[in-house]
Chain A
Amino acid sequence: MPDYEPIVGRYLTIEVAGEACRIHVEEAGDGIPLVCLHTAGSDARQYRHLMCDPAITDHYRVIAFDMPWHGKSNPPVGWRDREYSLTTELYKDTIMAFCRAMELRHPVIMGCSMGGRVVLHLALEQADRFRAVIALEGADRLEPYYELDWLHRPDIHGGEVCAAIVSAQVAPQSPDEYRWETLWSYMQGGPGIFKGDLYFYWYDGHFDDRSPLIDTDKCPVYLLSGEYDSSCTPERTAATASRIAGAKATVMEGIGHFPMSENPALFRTYILPVLDEIRGAG
C-alpha cells in the first residue's frame, strides 16, 4: 500500500446565488464536523496539517473546501465576462450552501483572515447552526493600507506580487519550509482573486457595528491571532474581543497571519486546547 496521508479530496457541485459551482473539498477524521475556511487568495491546502494530526482527527471530521474561483474549485460558468468580487452575502451564501450540501449537523466552523471575519457574521446570524466559531486572524474591522489595483494589472505578475505582499504576514520565526509553502498557494491564485477577496475583507465585510450583538451563550466565539499579523493585529483582535461579550481571545506569540500553515507545530499548541474545550462543552 502506498503511504497515503489520511486526507481524501473529492468534488461536488453546489448551487450558490443561482449558479452551479463545482467545489473541491478535502477531509480527514471522524467526529464533530470542523469546517475550515481558507484565507483570501489561497485555498484549502492551508489546513493539511490539521488533517494529518490524530490529536485532532480522532475527535473531529476536519473538512476544508476551496471557495469558488480558488484552488481546485472552478469559477462559475461565464466567469470571463465578470470581475470577481466577494461580497458578504455571497460569502455567507457559499458557506451555508456548502454545509447544506455536505449535510453537516451542528459543525464547528473555523476560518482564517477573511474566513475569520465571516465566521463572526455566522456566529450572529446562524448561531443555531454552529456549535462554535473559531476566528483565526479574524478582527471585525480592518483599515486598508495599499491600493488593491496593484494585485491585478498586466504589467505586474499577480501571483508573485500577492505572495510578496503577504510574505510580510508570515512571522520571522516560522520555518522556511512552511513559509514558502504558504506563499506558493498565493503564487498560484487566479488573476484578480486575492483582490476580489479583499473587497470583502477590507470594505464590504465590516462587522464592528453588529459584532456586539453576538450571543456567545448560543454560539461560543474564539479569537486567535498571531503576534506578527499586521492586518488583524493583536490590538484589533483585542478591540474585537471587547465588543463581543464572552469571546475568548488569544494572541499567538511568534506566529503571523497564517497560523495553521506557516507554523503548524506551534499552532497546534494553541488550537488543541480550544478544540478540547469545544468538545468538552458537548
Chain B
Amino acid sequence: MIDKIQGCVNGDKMLIRRGRFVDLAFLLGVGDEDYLVTIEKGRIASIEPRELETITGQFSIRAASEVWQEFWKPMPKRNHHDIWAMLAAGLVELDGDLAPLMQNLQYFKDVLSSPRPKARRR
C-alpha cells in the first residue's frame, strides 16, 4: 500500500488543499522498514526507503507490518482503524517533533489511510 499513497493523495484535490501548508518530510515505519515521505504544499513529492541513519524527517510514525495491513483493509478491526486508536492500544510509536503532525492531524490521518479501499457500509 505504501506505493499507492502518492497517487491517492495527489489525486485528491481537497486533501491537498487541507494540507497546503504542509512542507516537510516524515518517517513512516512499516515493520523494520522506514520510508521517508516528503510532502510539498500538501502533495506527496516522494516516498523513498530510508537509506541512512542521518535521514530522520521531522517526526516518525511506526507500527508493525501486520498492524498496517489491517489498517489498510476496507473495514479495519478495532484498534487498527486510525492511528490515534492505534496509539491508545499501544500499536503505534510516534517520535520527533510532533507539532506539525498535531497542526495537521486529520490531514496526516487521511494521507495514511488514503489507499484504503472503500468499504460497503453495513
Contact = CB atoms under 8 A, between A and B. Distances in A.
A154 to B, nearest CB: 11
Contact of A228 (B83, B85, B103, B121): B85
Interface residues of A, number: 23
Interface string B94-122: 00001100110110010000000001011
A168 B88 contact: yes
B88 A145 contact: yes
B82 A168 contact: yes
A146 B86 CA distance: 12
Interface stretch (B33-41, B47-55, B73-81): B73-81
A7 B98 CA distance: 42
Interface residues of B toward A: which range? 20 to 34
Contacts of B1: none
A164 B78 contact: no
A161 B102 contact: yes
Contacts of A231: 88
B87 A172 contact: no
B78 A227 contact: yes
Nearest to A170: B82
Contacts of B106: 160, 163-164, 167
B85 A155 contact: no
Interface string A157-179: 10011011101110111010000
B103 A156 contact: yes
A145 B87 contact: yes
Contact of A173 (B82, B109, B121): B121
* Chain A residues touching B, majority SS: loop
A10 to B, nearest CB: 35
A167 B109 contact: yes
A254 interface: yes
A203 B78 CA distance: 25
A80 to B, nearest CB: 25
B89 interface: yes
Contact of B75 (A145, A150, A168, A172): A172
A216 interface: no
A230 interface: yes
Contacts of B109: 164, 167-168
A202 to B, nearest CB: 12
Given A173-B122, A230-B89, A156 B102 contact: yes
14 contacts: A156-B99, A156-B103, A161-B103, A164-B105, A164-B109, A165-B84, A165-B105, A167-B82, A168-B87, A168-B88, A168-B109, A175-B121, A228-B78, A230-B84
Interface of B: 75-76, 78-79, 81-85, 87-89, 98-99, 102-103, 105-106, 109, 119, 121-122
Closest 10 CB pairs of A and B: A168-B84, A164-B105, A168-B82, A164-B106, A230-B88, A230-B85, A168-B85, A228-B78, A145-B88, A172-B81
